[in-house]
């Protein structure tokens, strides 16, 4: 079973999936042009905020709103 990881903003209660670790601990950052754009927008919107990189389901960021790819909110 794989684990997914997000960057989360504690100030805005939002998170964006940015990485995954799968079988045998092999992992990767999502790096398609669409993912890179979403990551850039997330970091710019939340600069100066309290950010955390963590596992999606095993932490308090699981309750945060997910920022979907292609959304520019």
pLDDT, tens digit, 9 for 90 and up, residues 21-40: 988 888 999 999 999 999 99
Residue range 37-65, pLDDT digits in tens? 999 999 999 999 999 999 887 778 888 99
How much is the pTM? 0.84
Tell me what pLDDT residue 23 has. Answer: 81
Phi and psi dihedrals of 39, rounded to 5? -65, -45
Say yes or no to pLDDT of 73 above 60: no
């Amino acid at each position: 079973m794989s684990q997914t990881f997000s960057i989360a903003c504690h100030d805005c209660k939002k998170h964006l999936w940015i990485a995954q670790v799968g079988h045998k601990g092999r992992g990767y950052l999502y790096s398609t042009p669409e993912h890179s754009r979403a990551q850039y927008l997330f970091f710019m919107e939340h600069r100066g905020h309290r950010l955390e990189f963590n596992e999606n389901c095993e932490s308090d960021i699981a309750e945060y709103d997910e920022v979907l790819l292609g959304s520019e909110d």
